Structure 1
Amino acid sequence: MQDSLALHLAHKARNLALDALNVENADPETLRDFARTALLELAALGLVCGEEELGCWAAPRVPGH
């Protein structure tokens, strides 16, 4: 699962033309977009706080359902 997250984030970074060599000169909105994507993915995995969505596959299932 972590490998797929890394691939997803790498794809997002490439789409934003963002890499470790140009991060210092990157547009703030580009950095926010990438950070938002990373944090939403981490929240979906339950690794950081985030908005809970009904039916999210990463959310613990309610006992009895």
Structure 2
Amino acid sequence: MHELLALYLARQARTLGLDAQNVEDADLETLRTFARAVLDELAALGLVAGEEEVGCWAAPRPAGH
């Protein structure tokens, strides 16, 4: 699962034109967009706090399912 997350985040970085060599020169909005993608994925995995949505697949399932 971590490999899939890494591939997804790499794709997001490429889409935004970010890499380890140009991050210092990237504009603030691009960095915010990437940070949001990273944090949303971490929240979906339950690793950081995030917005809770009704019916979100990342939420714990009720007992009995």
Q: Which residue identity is paired with 1:35?
A: A
Aligned residues: CA RMSD: 1.0
Moved over 3 A (4+): none
- CA shift digits 1:21-45 (9 cap, x unpaired): 0000000000000000000000000
Q: Does 1:7 pair with 2:14?
A: no
| Equivalent position SS for 1:60 | coil
Structure 2: gaps of 5 or more residues: none
| Equivalent position SS for 2:9 | helix
Partner of 2:31: 31
Write the distance in 2 (CA, Å) between the matches of 1:55 and 1:8.
23
Q: TM-score, normalised by structure 1?
A: 0.92
Partner of 2:48: 48
